[in-house]
Structure 1
Amino acid sequence: MRGRGQTPIVPAGNVAGRALTTVIAIMTFLAALTVGAVSLVTDTAGRWQNDISNEITVQVKPADGLDMAQALETVRQIALQTPGVKGATVLDEAATGRLLEPWLGEGVDLQELPVPRLVVVSIDTGDPPNFEFMRQELQEAVPQADLDDHRAWVSRLVTMARTVVFVGVFVLALVIVATTLTVVFATRGAMSGNRHIVEVLHFVGARSSFIAREFERHFLRLGLIGAAAGGAVAIVVFVVLGHLTEANRQTPEADQISALFGSFTIGWTGYVGVLLLVATVAALTALTSRLTVTRHLAEIDMISPVEN
């Protein structure tokens, strides 16, 4: 074992070590952003899919001579009488106006615009209604009514979520490969700078495991510092974005953004993913350095008999 006052094989605070720590921090930060983005999109897509599967909408388009209030009430009654429907609510003019505020501004007079009106229908997910039958009933009673069961949206959401997860995994793989190569080069550089010390220790009988463990400790410390710094910065970014979204939620534009992406909070799964990423990067850094040193010492053993 190395004594308390013994100088370590690899200097703890050299320039190369600080540069490697910075590179690991940057890579971990980018990877943590990817993990958070994947978690955010996955959670949001799951929330969309859950909301969409619980509700359908019936759109009533305005037409000449159409009594909109009567048509909406007819649609609501037909929906309530359909098996599998738990409730139906007419979206009033105030709620419709709030939906249009980001595009048309405040104080929109719906009486002067040919704006379709909506009836929101809650369905029983365990025993959903027959949508085709319901669509036919609505068309016969109110020809201007158009039922949307959101199946196209669900399909697009699932496809989008899978694509984001695939891209995220691909980016993480690239970061891991880049980190591995960086550690390999950094380890070889550290060994090159301490080559004579390493070879002397090796030739006088120091075990390869001892030398490799010294490098492993050194790079594990660098990996932990760099990965923890990058992960912490990424967590701070997500926390700040979440607070900014909550603070600006009162505006119509923020309401639409929140409806699409939530509050930009990644949830406990995202934070756990970032912590696992930090641990993985640190362990990968230590393991890569150990394997590199072990392989280099094995090459020395193969060359030495030839020289002798």
Structure 2
Amino acid sequence: MSDLQRDMRDTAETEQPARRPEMRVRPTAPIVPPSNVSGNALMLVIAIMAFLACLTFGAVSMVRATAASWQSEISREITIQIKPDDNLDMEQALKDARDLALTFTGTRDGTIVDKAATARLLQPWLGDGLDIDELPVPRLVIVTIDEQSPPDFTAMRAALSQKIPQAFLDDHRTWVDRLVAMARTTAFIGTGVLVLVFSAMVLTVVFATRGALSGNRHIVEVLHFVGAEAGFVASEFQKHFLKISLKGSLAGGLLAALFFAVAGFWQGRAIATPQSDQATALFGSFSMGFTGYLGIAGTIAVIALLTTLTARFTVMRTIHEIDQIRSDPSRTDQLPDS
């Protein structure tokens, strides 16, 4: 290689720009720590509250469904009770009462409760081997009616008392009114419990958000001072508490759904047993159906949304307080040193 070629190569190498080292962007850490002790504690509290809220919602739904079922069954029937009398032919009086009731518009069918069925009704109180003829036990006639257009009970009651003085018509209105009042009271109490649970959860989230802000207040102040919008800072806290609330509410809601599923399974397996009969009489069927589980899912969504909105509102209000302190020179000493 000649000297001229060497000089040209050296000149070209000298004129080439030096290769710059590659710049690596350092990943930024989140404003709010993704996992800490307070976050785990808040998640546990939200799970407990979600479980209580879903349990209350399911219980209210079951009671209302049971009361509606009882109300529908009672509203479909009326009862004619005939008291025994020495001068009364009971069997003929039962037939006359049934036939008279069926002459009214709005009645569909009439059934005379025979002696064996009457003995079975009294068996829990008087025991086995009961002879109806030896006791002054009233006899019953059950009349099925049309719920949409029921008969004139006043006229039917007057006609029965005129033809059979020992007959008494019971249209079950008192029991229906009591069931409706019980269902409304239960729904009112359940709604109150839900309001208390949601209120306690909101207060818990407010305190937890303020605690997280207190631990990261200097970061929030620096970011806000250099130009970060309040919405950006609030969105970071919002994402953090959204994850916590979703995990907690899902755990509590799934636990409540599992409870109802297990209770329904036990009730189905233990049917016709004293324990199952008592539970059914007190609480009704533990089967909620698709609507009940959909309500639990809705409760989970409401808890997550409420927690997220509460966290955002708390952060925005705190940043507004910081802005007020910065705008007032006499209160700048309230700001911690960055």
In structure 2, the residue matched to 1:153 is 175
In structure 1, the residue matched to 2:121 is 99
Offset of 1:4 from its aligned partner? 9.7
* CA distance, structure 1, for counterparts of residue 191 and residue 141 of structure 2: 40
Residue 212 of structure 2 aligns to a residue whose secondary structure is helix
In structure 2, the residue matched to 1:81 is 103
**Letter paired with 1:176:** F
Residue in structure 1 matching 2:252, options 222, 230, 240:
230
1:248 aligns with 2:270: yes
Residue 205 of structure 1 aligns to a residue whose secondary structure is coil
**Letter paired with 1:234:** A
Residue 11 of structure 1 aligns to a residue whose secondary structure is coil
| Aligned ranges 1:190-229 → 2 under 5 Å | 190-229=212-251
In structure 1, the residue matched to 2:20 is none
In structure 2, the residue matched to 1:138 is 160
Structure 1 pair 125–111 and aligned structure 2 pair: CA distance change class (3 A): same
Residue in structure 2 matching 1:165, options 187, 212, 215:
187
Residue in structure 1 matching 2:49, options 27, 30, 38:
27
Structure 2 portions without partners, runs of 5+: 1-24, 334-338
* CA distance, structure 2, for counterparts of residue 259 and residue 4 of structure 1: 65
In structure 2, the residue matched to 1:44 is 66
Runs of 4+ in structure 1 off by over 4 angstroms are 104-109, 252-257
Offset of 1:302 from its aligned partner? 1.5
**Letter paired with 1:121:** V
* CA distance, structure 2, for counterparts of residue 142 and residue 254 of structure 1: 41
> What TM-score comes out, normalization by structure 1 length?
0.89
Higher gyration radius (CA): 2
1:70 aligns with 2:92: yes
Offset of 1:113 from its aligned partner? 4.0
* CA distance, structure 1, for counterparts of residue 124 and residue 276 of structure 2: 9
Offset of 1:165 from its aligned partner? 1.9
Comparing 155-164 with 90-99, greater Cα deviation is found at 90-99
Residue 122 of structure 1 aligns to a residue whose secondary structure is strand
Structure 1 pair 108–212 and aligned structure 2 pair: CA distance change class (3 A): farther
In structure 2, the residue matched to 1:301 is 323
In structure 1, the residue matched to 2:199 is 177
* CA distance, structure 1, for counterparts of residue 97 and residue 62 of structure 2: 36
* CA distance, structure 1, for counterparts of residue 50 and residue 26 of structure 2: 32
* CA distance, structure 1, for counterparts of residue 182 and residue 256 of structure 2: 23
* RMSD of aligned residue pairs (Cα, Å): 2.4
- After superposition, the C-alpha distances for 1:286-307 in whole angstroms (9 at most, x for unaligned) are 1111111111111111112323
Offset of 1:149 from its aligned partner? 0.6
- After superposition, the C-alpha distances for 1:201-239 in whole angstroms (9 at most, x for unaligned) are 222222221111111011011111111111111112222
In structure 1, the residue matched to 2:292 is 270
> What TM-score comes out, normalization by structure 2 length?
0.82
Structure 1 pair 119–131 and aligned structure 2 pair: CA distance change class (3 A): same
* CA distance, structure 1, for counterparts of residue 280 and residue 139 of structure 2: 23
**Letter paired with 1:191:** L
Structure 1 pair 254–147 and aligned structure 2 pair: CA distance change class (3 A): farther
Residue 205 of structure 2 aligns to a residue whose secondary structure is helix
* CA distance, structure 1, for counterparts of residue 149 and residue 321 of structure 2: 69
Offset of 1:245 from its aligned partner? 2.4
Comparing 31-40 with 258-267, greater Cα deviation is found at 258-267
- After superposition, the C-alpha distances for 1:226-269 in whole angstroms (9 at most, x for unaligned) are 11111111112222222222233314674575466431222333
Residue 74 of structure 1 aligns to a residue whose secondary structure is helix
1:284 aligns with 2:303: no
Structure 1 pair 95–232 and aligned structure 2 pair: CA distance change class (3 A): farther
* CA distance, structure 1, for counterparts of residue 257 and residue 34 of structure 2: 28
Offset of 1:280 from its aligned partner? 0.6
Offset of 1:12 from its aligned partner? 1.9
* CA distance, structure 2, for counterparts of residue 41 and residue 181 of structure 1: 30
Offset of 1:102 from its aligned partner? 4.1
